[in-house]
Amino acid sequence: MRARHFPSLLLLAAPLAAQHDLAPRLAAIAAHPRLLLTDATLARRQQAATTDATLRRYVDQAIAQADDCLDLADLRRELIGPRLLAVSRECLRRVQVLAFAWRWTGDGRYAARAVHDLGTVAAFADWNPSHFLDVAEMTHAVALGYDWLWPALTAAERDTLRTAIVRLGLEPGRAAHRQNAWWTRSAFNWNQVCNAGLTLGALAIAEDEPELATFVIDRAIASLPTALASYEPDGAWMEGPAYWDYATRYTAFGLAALQTALGSDFGLGDRDGLRRAAWFPLLTAGPTGRFFNFADAGENARIGPSPCVFWLAQRTGEVAFAAAEHRLLRTHRASPLHVVWYVPEPPAPPRPPLAQLFRGAVPVAVFRTAWLDDALFVAAKGGYNAVNHGHLDLGSFVLDALGERWLLDLGSDDYDLPGYFGKQRWSYYRLASHSHNVTLVDDRDQDPKAVAKVQSFSAERANVIFDLGSAWRQTKVRRGIAVVDRAVIVQDELQFDAAHEVAFGLMTRAQVTIGASGEVVLRSGERELVVRALESAGALWREVATEQAKPQRANAGVRRLELHVRAEAGPLRLAVQLAPRWPEGAAPPPARLLPLAEW
């Protein structure tokens, strides 16, 4: 179909449209299909798949997922808590794989099932605008189906889907922007998800609703930089690696759709932080595959395939990104977007670095001894406790070694707990300080308004020092973490003006044995980690209960180990060595301590 023209578009556009040069681009908008996967790209991929066995395998895996969708039950408008989000995501998953399979094979079964699901959600009374992520993801789903299935749709089906996109998606989106809804000004994942989902909807129906499409795209282009700035300076995401994927996925959807439909993303992707962003999940996943799951990530959140990594590899030419994604796809199924944004596997990519400091608003330091499954890995964080999805965990860390996660973060609890994102947040065990690998002062939680900056970092010496003074309302609290002789040293230096009770805390699922000498052994099967207090006159190890009553998660099998000491006014140093017992023999001997000032 030829793109329609917009004779009055300049009169209809909001003031920002002129700044973004939207009018001429929308007037010449590409024909359907124009969102992400054009016919030209599809033809190139089909040709490449005749000789590229890896690409062909990814195509087969995507089509197999479409086969799995042919006989599923109908989608229903059922909320979980306040959210329709699970239904929106399931609709998007189905439409994406089914429409892709139809376009690749021409098999009408795939198109028919996708049209059926699209018609089902188009008949919903609404897409739950009270939780706007639901609207955004459903708008994305229906827009993608409308665009990718365009040749297979009847005129009546096109009208039905276009009406749904406008009435249930874009009109609530326009209202939200006019009311300056909080997510339009947010620096977090809601900004990208809501703006990108609406942008795909607007691009899908722009010929028929030029004024509405211009408004929505205009506002998205103006709003997105607030969130995209959160990747600066080096790609970290302050909501943690799990939310990195959600935010970055939708960043890719939105910017790629602008590019394929209008020929430009209006400079939104030209940011150093975004260009480096794929380093963050790659380097914050330990040898166990589990992320340093700070913020509201699950305890077992793991690195997995994310097609936006191919998109970033395309934009940057960074072969390490493509290589990492291909490695993950050896044990996971590819999605259609892995085909859309396919980058061939590089033959000999360089090894990623062993140490990295991400210097964003929530700085994260990571160290590993090797890129091997049984290597030692430690990751620690600073930042600010009031960050979106944040916990009271400044200075906390996780540790992998010998193929085990020895020291862990319990991650999120149930989002539907009363006040989980409100006034009761810090009353929940998993979100407060007592469930993290931090030192407690007088058994108190950290200050919810506290900020912890990186005082120093050295990749060569494999150490980092955080200033934690504001976390405990003390004039001087510093935590250093270093990798020495394939063991980890965690050293706290505190300065008190009065006596305090101090407890150095560690969270683990390993079996705990506290020896008579004060040495602690953590065991998991035949593997062991030795925990030594290196400087702790008068300190005693204790095992502390972690169980919680419903409706909180129970934390079954989780142990908290605390080193308790009574601190008088003046300086206090607590230092603990965490030493794996490597296969070749005993754990490393006790380390020689240096003041943090000499690190």
Domain ranges of the chain: 9-340, 355-598
How far is it, in rounded angstroms, from Cα 199 to Cα 218? Answer: 9
How far is it, in rounded angstroms, from Cα 177 to Cα 202? Answer: 14
| Reported confidence tier of residue 325, pLDDT bands at 50, 70, 90 | very high
How far is it, in rounded angstroms, from Cα 269 to Cα 228? Answer: 8
Q: What's the CA angle centered on 392, arms 387 and 397, to 5 degrees?
A: 100
H-helix or E-strand spanning residue 114: helix 108-122
Q: What's the CA angle centered on 579, arms 574 and 585, to 5 degrees?
A: 150
How far is it, in rounded angstroms, from Cα 139 to Cα 53? Answer: 34
DSSP helix/strand/coil, 475: coil
| Reported confidence tier of residue 17, pLDDT bands at 50, 70, 90 | very low
Cis before residue 551, ω within 30 degrees of 0? yes
pLDDT in tens, 68-121: 999 999 999 999 999 999 999 999 999 999 999 999 999 999 999 999 999 999
Residue 18 has pLDDT above 50, yes or no: no
| Reported confidence tier of residue 19, pLDDT bands at 50, 70, 90 | low
Residue 178 has pLDDT above 90, yes or no: yes
Mean pLDDT in residue range 327-332: 97
CB count within 10 Å of CB 163 equals: 13
**Which of 340, 342, 339, 346 is closest to 318 using CA atoms?**
346
Mean pLDDT in residue range 476-493: 96
**Cβ distance 279 to 332 under 8 Å?**
no
Q: Which CATH superfamily is domain 9-340 in?
A: Chondroitin AC/alginate lyase (1.50.10.100)
498: left (phi over 0), alpha (psi -120 to 50) or beta: beta
pLDDT at 20: 67
pLDDT at 114: 98
Residue 8 has pLDDT above 60, yes or no: no
Mean pLDDT in residue range 480-495: 96
The amino acid at residue 36 is L
Tokens 């001997």 correspond to 589
How far is it, in rounded angstroms, from Cα 29 to Cα 257? Answer: 11
Distant-in-sequence, close-in-space partners of 234: CB < 8 Å, separation ≥ 6? 272, 273, 276, 279, 358, 359, 360
Residue 331 has pLDDT above 50, yes or no: yes
pLDDT at 6: 36
DSSP helix/strand/coil, 498: coil
pLDDT in tens, 182-192: 999 999 999 99
State the CATH architecture for 355-598: Distorted Sandwich (2.70)
Cα dist. 295→382, 410, 436 in Å? Answer: 12, 10, 11
Token pair for 118: 């699209």
